[in-house]
């Protein structure tokens, strides 16, 4: 499989690259600053991982990334994992910095929309339906984007941006279904990364094992769903 992973230089993204490489997939890894992505560059020293500059906030960067992928390799894209994400300060309503809320939208909502849109030609390469072969767009969301599950409030920028991402995924699912392209959001759990912190209960390796199992088992009938990394259970909206 040819797979794109965004936010590939650390955390869940880096572990996705590692496990995808280990099983023989071709990984196109996007990182904001490839020259500083030392762990990712170590993976790229072996076959199976190519590192590309990608800032999901930037139209120009996303366009250059998509053009590079299209010209460097004739193969179509089988799987896009929109993993890059941002969690800012969790400020109560009165102290809320609206520019920071906007930044969450730019990275967590518009980023995946921007990347998916730019990579559609590559997902479609080889014929719109490619003989009925399912291609997959997976957005790494969060339980914090669930309105039904919001029992503690706060985290405005993060919660809003992930809830909006969930809605975007649903619309993509409806729009792309006839082309045999699925779009789902998956909650990765609470994971030991820079974002999740050291107290998180789940190691990145376990999270990614679960994510890949859910992604591998994905059926077109599930398109539009909000899934959990554990066994692909549905998460309430
Ligand atoms: N960890 C958790 O407990 C948890 C829980 C629920 C959901 N998630 C979601 O899982 C995904 C991965 O999270 P993580 O825990 O691995 O976070 P992380 O350790 O903070 O890593 C975030 C990644 O996103 C990248 N990124 C941020 N802004 C970007 C931009 N504008 N363009 C390109 N890349 C950008 C970062 O790159 P830089 O190094 O350049 O900043 C980094 O590679 C995120 O979508 C997050 O919301 C995580």
Whether 12 is in the pocket of ligand 1, judged by its Cβ within 6 Å, is yes
CB of 145 shorter than 6 A to ligand 1? no
Whole-number Å distance between alpha carbons of 112 and 100: 18
Q: Supply the mean pLDDT for the chain.
A: 97
Q: H-type helices in 87-147, by residue range?
A: 98-104, 111-124
Q: Which of these, 236, 105, 119, 233, lies nearest to 181 by C-alpha position?
A: 119
**Closest-lying ligand 1 atom to the alpha carbon of residue 8:** 43
pLDDT score, position 128: 62
- Read off the pLDDT band of 126 (50, 70, 90): confident
Task: State the pLDDT at residue 127.
Answer: 74
Burial per residue of 132-170, b for 16 or more beta-carbon CB atoms within 10 angstroms, e otherwise = eeebbbbbbbbbbbbeeeeeeeebbbbbbbbbbbbebbb
User: Is 105 one of the catalytic residues?
Assistant: no
pLDDT of residue 199: 97
The model's pLDDT over 204-217, given as tens digits with 9 standing for 90+, comes to: 999 999 999 999 99
Check pocket membership of 54 for ligand 1, CB cut-off 6 A: yes
Q: How far is the CA of 86 from the centre of ligand 1 (A)?
A: 5
pTM of the predicted protein model: 0.98
Q: Where are the beta strands (DSSP E) in the chain?
A: 2-5, 26-31, 49-53, 79-82, 135-140, 181-187, 226-228
Q: State pLDDT tens for residues 15-51.
A: 999 999 999 999 999 999 999 999 999 999 999 999 9
Q: Which of 86, 105, 156, 158 is catalytic?
A: 158
Q: Span 103-121, mean pLDDT?
A: 98
């Amino acid at each position: 499989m040819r797979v794109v992973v965004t936010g590939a230089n650390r955390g869940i993204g880096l572990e996705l690259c590692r496990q995808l490489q280990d099983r023989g997939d071709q990984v196109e890894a996007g990182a904001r600053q490839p020259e500083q992505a030392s762990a990712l560059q170590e993976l790229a020293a072996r076959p199976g991982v190519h590192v590309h500059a990608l800032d999901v906030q930037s139209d120009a960067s996303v366009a250059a990334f998509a053009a590079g992928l299209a010209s460097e390799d004739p193969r179509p894209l089988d799987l896009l994992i929109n993993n890059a994400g941002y969690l800012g300060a969790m400020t109560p309503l009165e102290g809320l910095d609206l520019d920071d809320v906007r930044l969450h939208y730019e990275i967590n909502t518009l980023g995946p929309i921007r990347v998916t849109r730019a990579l559609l030609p590559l997902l479609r390469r080889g014929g719109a339906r490619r003989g009925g072969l399912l291609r997959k767009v997976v957005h790494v969301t969060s339980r914090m984007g669930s309105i039904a599950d919001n029992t503690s409030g706060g985290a405005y920028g993060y919660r809003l941006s992930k809830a909006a991402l969930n809605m975007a995924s649903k619309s993509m699912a409806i729009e792309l279904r006839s082309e045999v392209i699925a779009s789902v959001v998956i909650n990765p759990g609470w994971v030991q990364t820079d974002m999740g912190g050291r107290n998180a209960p789940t190691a990145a390796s376990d999270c990614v094992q679960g994510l890949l199992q859910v992604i591998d088992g994905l059926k077109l009938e599930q398109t539009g769903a909000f899934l959990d990394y554990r066994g692909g259970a549905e998460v309430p909206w």
